[in-house]
């Protein structure tokens, strides 16, 4: 009896986590929480299989002195998943930050994916590179416990902050990475004292 209820619950979750069109194809949808990890201008999205792009420009302060503009390119589309059920399409999104002239930091990306044949979670990956030889990446899988913290950056109090401290043995030259839901990367600090901190519009 317990297995029967478990199976019915799984079918219910899959049915309501997908949107179906006239062709019978079901598209997995990002939750508002999924979207909060991407640089996107809405808390909701109805995905119908077409690629979506959102481009923005945000500001960071370098070394507590210079403010630089950073372009952000977010792309959302179907995920190529060989394990997916027939006529069920997963969704993936990636936001790419690339400072002009690199300014001591090469990139800071975040990737989110959700598959309709999994449970109710999604995978998230974070990539940061400071130069050609130093980079760091980490993944939070759907079943991993997530511990959020708070952070004060340039006088702004952020909640729902993920903090990463790369092991010095990895030789990434990255001391710390702060990532806040709805704001993205808010602070990156290297071992040699360089900082990149998010500047919010006033």
Task: Convert the pLDDT of each residue in 128-149 to its tens digit.
Answer: 988 777 788 888 876 677 889 9
CA distance to 5, 62, 75, 93, 181, per residue, from 32 (Å): 27, 31, 16, 13, 11
Across the chain, mean pLDDT equals: 82
Of 16-20, 24-28, 63-67, 185-189, minimum mean pLDDT range: 16-20
Which pTM was predicted?
0.83
Contacts from 187-193 at CB under 8 Å and sequence distance 24+?
Answer: 187/151, 187/153, 188/105, 188/108, 188/128, 188/130, 190/104, 190/130
**Are 157 and 22 contacting, i.e. CB atoms less than 8 angstroms apart?**
no
pLDDT for 15 equals 44
Reported as half-sphere exposure (CB side, CA atoms, 13 A), residue 96 has a value of 7
Structure tokens at 193: 């004292």
Please, which pLDDT band fits residue 117 given cuts at 50, 70 and 90? low
Per-residue pLDDT reduced to its tens digit, 50-92: 999 999 999 999 988 889 889 999 999 998 766 655 677 889 9
pLDDT at 122 over 60: yes
Residue with tokens 């993936």: 92
Reported as half-sphere exposure (CB side, CA atoms, 13 A), residue 47 has a value of 30
pLDDT at 44 over 60: yes
| Strand 184-190 versus strand 195-199 pairing type | antiparallel
pLDDT at 13 over 70: no
Reported as half-sphere exposure (CB side, CA atoms, 13 A), residue 131 has a value of 10
Q: Which of 77, 101, 114, 93 is nearest to 39 (CA)?
A: 93
State how far the Cα of 177 lies from the Cα of 195, in Å rounded to an integer.
Answer: 10
pLDDT at 151 over 90: yes
185 SS3 class: strand
Please, which residues have CB within 8 angstroms of residue 142's CB and are 6 or more apart in sequence?
A: 118, 119, 120, 121, 122, 123
Helix (H) or strand (E) holding 17: none
pLDDT for 38 equals 97
pLDDT at 20 over 80: no
DSSP letters for 40-68: -S-S-----SS-EEEEEEEEEEETTTEEE
Which residue blocks in the chain are alpha helix, DSSP H? 2-16, 32-35
Per-residue pLDDT reduced to its tens digit, 90-107: 899 999 998 866 666 888
């Amino acid at each position: 009896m317990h297995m029967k209820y478990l199976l019915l619950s799984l079918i219910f979750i899959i049915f309501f986590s997908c949107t179906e069109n006239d062709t019978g194809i079901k598209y997995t949808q990002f939750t508002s929480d999924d979207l909060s990890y991407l640089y996107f201008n809405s808390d909701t999205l109805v995905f119908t299989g077409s690629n979506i792009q959102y481009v923005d420009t945000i500001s960071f302060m370098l070394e507590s002195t210079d403010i630089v503009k950073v372009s952000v390119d977010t792309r959302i589309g179907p995920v190529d998943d060989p394990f997916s059920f027939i006529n069920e399409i997963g969704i993936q999104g990636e936001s790419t930050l690339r400072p002009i002239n690199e300014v001591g930091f090469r990139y800071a990306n975040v990737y989110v994916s959700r598959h309709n044949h999994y449970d109710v979670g999604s995978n998230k990956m974070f990539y940061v590179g400071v130069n050609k030889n130093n980079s760091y990446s980490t993944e939070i899988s759907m079943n991993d416990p997530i511990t959020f913290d708070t952070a004060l950056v340039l006088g702004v109090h952020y909640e729902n902050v993920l903090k990463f401290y790369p092991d010095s043995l990895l030789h990434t030259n990255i001391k710390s990475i702060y990532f806040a839901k709805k704001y993205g990367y808010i602070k990156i600090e290297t071992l040699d004292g360089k900082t990149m901190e998010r500047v919010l519009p006033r």
